[in-house]
């Protein structure tokens, strides 16, 4: 590791006295390796995107030129820069006119730390979707908005409107830290949740691009101050450069002119609350409170990520590892240290291998921790013990703890449209309500007076909103990405396909005798990039082509274990014949309160495939040719079937297939 002294350069560790980072800290003595110069000063082979970033004048050119020409699209270099500003150029495949090529439009994504949406911004987004979008709003799995259908000539109006109404799109996409998630719980009487929201916002500010290019592009250089000033400690800690985290005298002190090798994702939560899918993030941050209820510090996890490529074993989903604990006064320094390691050591030659998870996988967590400590300036403390994780969706009515109510509303696959969109607008505007977007594509109305509750229920129920307990639980715990026809990466349906898939699965479960409240976590994506985190699902569908999906099984309801690929290709028309033997076996052999994901992980795919091989459904058995058997043989086969929890037809078919084979 050129540019480092200490253990990784084969020399003795350097011991130095570290000055306190705030006036209240005492001097500390640490013995760690520290960087002499950023390893990124020695350039290696780089992908084309790296060259585009380097020549862009910190994300300005050629985007600024492309936005003002007469074309309906921007060129490929500008497309790469546009992502950093919070937008993707898309082609609406179903609006292409014969002989006219692609139908270009843009998707805009907001920056919404913790999913917190002020009332003014909600109304603005609702207006923009009708005036410049496709009439809908999309709630994402990372607590942001996506506005689809914006034409190039309207981009500046749309972006500037968001900025001037308490919002931002800066770094919602691109090779930077993206939207920072946190638990959407609106509790005002539980300080750990308030800290999670606060630090999600602070970390988002800490790692936001600083060059001012965003304002040059969308506001002609006018810096528009937000409604909330940046935490002064964030400003001070960003500027601190005692251990090589920063580029001195650069408009981008943390990122430099190359930014990060790839996207970077952070989530903040409290012990036990895994509503944010903590283990799927590049960095997971867990608030640690003292027994007396004071903030002490944070546990850190690193190296999670979902994206992969079909039939490329060098790409894979990965869960984050425990890195260590830091006291509250050092959290921003620790975050900078982790980002600096990824910045300086993450691969820039192959974008399929450039996420932080591959660096942690290659090095191992111990080596990764050691290099982080070089940029951090001292040892990380041991990871603090945590309680069992649970998935929470915060749907239904809850007390906030300040005398007001919150109401979590189910939005199927995150698509706000039609009567529901109009009814929500009326309620949110009438009562001036703020909103929180959830990691499960739903939203929470906040700060509701008890006296408003009846009117809100009446207004929303008229638009089809159901109580949380009345929502089919398969739908309630399911997620799908937008996929076709807009996403350029999609090779299959997701948002438009999952509702029917869920209905078919529910009908199959009814046929097999499951209770109406039986459910498991289902997630569907139109490609293997995994935006809805399907590799954590108990039942995951990953698009593999038209009407075809890779089938994943074995995740947990708490989102703490990776699923595994059970079937490489499943055609949609074979859904029932594929799932019926799995669900039949699950019903027959499950343990008390065992979930589908835990069952699949316990019995293993070999046993499931073996059972499925000879499985015969009741409808198939009824239509099969009849074969006579001696009574003693019939009784023996029935006894075997009873013992194995199979139907008689299943056992007979297995035996005959084995004999014929």
Active site residues: 109, 178, 263, 265, 481, 487, 527, 531
Q: In this structure, are residues 258 and 348 in contact, taking their beta carbons and an 8 Å threshold? A: yes
Angle (CA) 595 600 601, round 5°: 100
Cα(494)–Cα(158) distance, rounded to whole angstroms? 27
Decide the pairing of beta strands 522-525 and 539-545.
Answer: parallel
Residues in CB range of 162: below 8 A, 6 or more apart: 108, 110, 121, 124, 125, 128, 168, 169
Cα(317)–Cα(306) distance, rounded to whole angstroms? 4
- Beta carbons within 10 angstroms of residue 221's beta carbon: 10
Angle between helices 596-603 and 605-613 (to 10 degrees): 90
* Element spanning 137, H or E: strand 137-139
Q: In this structure, are residues 436 and 112 in contact, taking their beta carbons and an 8 Å threshold? A: no
User: What's the DSSP call for residue 71?
Assistant: S
Q: In this structure, are residues 112 and 171 in contact, taking their beta carbons and an 8 Å threshold? A: no
Decide the pairing of beta strands 522-525 and 266-269.
Answer: unpaired
Cα(425)–Cα(422) distance, rounded to whole angstroms? 5
- Beta carbons within 10 angstroms of residue 112's beta carbon: 28
Sign of the alpha-carbon dihedral angle for 201, 202, 206, 207: negative
């Amino acid at each position: 590791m050129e540019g480092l002294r200490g253990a990784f350069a084969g020399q003795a560790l350097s011991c130095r006295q570290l000055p306190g980072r705030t006036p209240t800290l005492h001097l500390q003595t640490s013995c760690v390796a520290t960087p002499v110069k950023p390893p990124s000063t020695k350039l290696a082979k780089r992908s084309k995107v790296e060259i585009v970033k380097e020549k862009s004048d910190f994300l300005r050119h050629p985007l600024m030129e492309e936005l003002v020409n007469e074309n309906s699209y921007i060129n490929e270099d500008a497309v790469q820069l546009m992502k950093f500003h919070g937008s993707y150029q898309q082609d609406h495949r179903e609006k292409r006119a014969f002989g006219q090529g692609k139908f270009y439009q843009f998707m805009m994504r907001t920056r919404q730390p913790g999913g917190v949406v002020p009332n003014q911004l909600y109304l603005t987004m609702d207006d923009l979707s009708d005036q410049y979008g496709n009439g809908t709003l999309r709630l994402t799995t990372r607590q942001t908005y996506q506005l689809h259908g914006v034409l190039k000539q309207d981009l500046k109006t749309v972006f500037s409107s968001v900025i001037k109404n308490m919002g931002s799109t800066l770094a919602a996409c691109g090779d930077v830290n993206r939207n920072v998630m946190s638990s959407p719980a609106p509790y005002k009487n539980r300080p750990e949740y308030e800290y999670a929201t606060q630090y999600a916002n602070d970390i988002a500010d800490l790692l936001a691009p600083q060059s001012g290019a965003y304002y040059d592009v969308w506001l002609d250089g006018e810096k528009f101050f937000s409604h909330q000033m940046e935490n002064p400690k964030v400003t001070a800690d960003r500027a601190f450069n005692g251990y090589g985290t920063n580029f001195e005298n650069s408009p981008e002190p943390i990122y430099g002119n190359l930014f990060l090798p790839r996207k970077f994702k952070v989530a903040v939560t409290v012990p036990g609350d895994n509503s944010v899918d903590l283990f799927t993030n590049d960095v997971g941050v867990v608030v640690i409170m003292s027994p007396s209820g004071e903030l002490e510090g944070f546990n850190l996890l690193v190296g999670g990520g979902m994206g992969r490529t079909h039939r490329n074993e060098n790409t894979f989903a990965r869960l984050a590892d425990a890195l260590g604990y830091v006291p509250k006064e050092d959290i921003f320094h620790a975050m900078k240290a982790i980002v600096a390691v990824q910045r300086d050591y993450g691969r820039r030659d192959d974008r399929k291998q450039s996420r932080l998870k591959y660096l942690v996988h290659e090095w191992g967590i111990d080596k990764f921790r050691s290099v982080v400590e070089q940029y951090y300036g001292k040892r990380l403390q041991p990871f603090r013990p945590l309680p069992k994780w649970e998935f929470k969706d915060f749907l239904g009515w809850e007390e906030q703890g300040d005398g007001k109510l919150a109401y979590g509303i189910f939005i199927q696959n995150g698509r706000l449209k039609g009567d529901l969109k109009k009814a929500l607008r009326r309620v949110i505007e009438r009562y001036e309500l703020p909103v929180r977007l959830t990691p499960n594509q739903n939203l929470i109305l906040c700060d509701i007076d008890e006296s408003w509750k009846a009117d809100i229920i009446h207004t929303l129920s008229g638009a089809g909103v159901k109580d949380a307990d009345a929502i089919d639980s398969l739908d309630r715990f399911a997620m799908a990405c937008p996929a076709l026809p807009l996403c350029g990466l999609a090779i299959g349906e997701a948002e438009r396909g999952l509702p029917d898939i869920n209905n078919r699965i529910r009908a199959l479960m009814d046929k097999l005798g499951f209770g109406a409240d039986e459910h498991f976590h289902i997630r569907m994506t139109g490609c293997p990039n995994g935006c809805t985190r399907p590799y954590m699902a108990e039942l995951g569908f990953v698009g593999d082509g038209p009407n075809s999906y890779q089938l994943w099984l074995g995740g947990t309801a708490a989102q703490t274990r990776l699923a595994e690929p059970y079937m490489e290709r499943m055609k949609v028309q074979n859904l029932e014949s594929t799932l019926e033997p799995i669900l039949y076996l699950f019903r027959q052999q499950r343990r008390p309160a065992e979930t589908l994901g835990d069952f699949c992980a316990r019995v293993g795919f070999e046993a499931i495939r073996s059972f499925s091989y000879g499985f015969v459904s009741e409808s198939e058995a009824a239509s099969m040719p009849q074969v006579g058997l001696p009574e003693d043989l019939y009784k023996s086969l029935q006894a075997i079937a009873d013992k194995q929890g199979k139907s008689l037809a299943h056992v007979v078919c297995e035996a005959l297939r084995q004999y014929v084979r």
